[in-house]
Amino acid sequence: MSNIAFNRLQRECKEVVTNSEISETGIMIEILNENLTEIKGHIRGPPDTPYAGGMFDLDIKIPDQYPFSPPNVKFSTKIWHPNVSSQTGVICLDILKDQWAASLTLRTVLLSIQALMCTPEPKDPQDAVVAKQYMEKPAVFKATAEYWTTKFAKGAVKNAGYQALVDKLKDMGVREEEAVSVLSCNNWDINRSTVYIFS
């Protein structure tokens, strides 16, 4: 890693750790190795969203050209969001691609992702299935996102109905994670989900 990248990251990490406003917004970082190429980000689910109460982890990989190239950021916690792949956690966000600016920092990146959680952009989706559900069945989307938050991000909202459907598929020998994913993609229709898995 270049000298400029390493030194700037040191300053940024200090900024995130010492800034009290950041702890209030629920943003934290964890340094995974000494040369700062791999960092773990943590975002608290914003209030008044289906992600409220959840704690979402992100994998941040810093390129050698940083800050002239954007960091590679993806969710390691599974999340049901139109702009995040429900399978891989890849994020569709302009500042992580063509709209990156050298003045942006880890703090502004994490705040932007948190803002994206508040206001999804279904017209520019990363996951077309989630975006379709968000636009056509908002109530189902909200319930699904809340269920995923509880299931994968330590959220508090319990949904016994959805859990019963997952258990049904588990009894048929389907892995829990796959059951959740397939049911979510099929708007929690157990028949369509069963056909999808076993056909």
Of residues 5 and 180, the one with the C-beta less far from other proteins: 5
Residue among 3 and 119 whose Cβ is closer to other proteins = 3
Alpha carbon distance 3, 96 (integer Å): 22
Per-state percent for the chain, helix, strand, coil, to nearest 5: 45, 15, 40
Residue 116 tokens read as 């994206």
Would you count residue 108 as binding other proteins (CB under 8 A)? no
Residue 12 in contact with other proteins, rule: CB under 8 A: yes
Q: Is residue 102 a contact residue for other proteins (CB under 8 A)?
A: yes
Helix (H, G, I), strand (E, B) or coil at 27: strand
Q: Residue 9 corresponds to which amino acid?
A: L
103 touching other proteins, by CB under 8 A: yes
92 counts as catalytic? yes
Check residue 18 for interaction with other proteins (CB under 8 A).
no
Can you tell me the distance from the alpha carbon of 111 to that of 193, in angstroms, rounded to the nearest whole number? 36
Per-residue interface string for the shown chain with other proteins, residues 140-169, x marking contact by CB under 8 A: ------------------------------
Whether residue 180 contacts residue 171, with contact meaning beta carbons closer than 8 Å, is answered with: no
Active-site annotation, residues: 92
Site for other proteins, rule CB under 8 A: 2-4, 7-8, 11-12, 67-68, 101-104
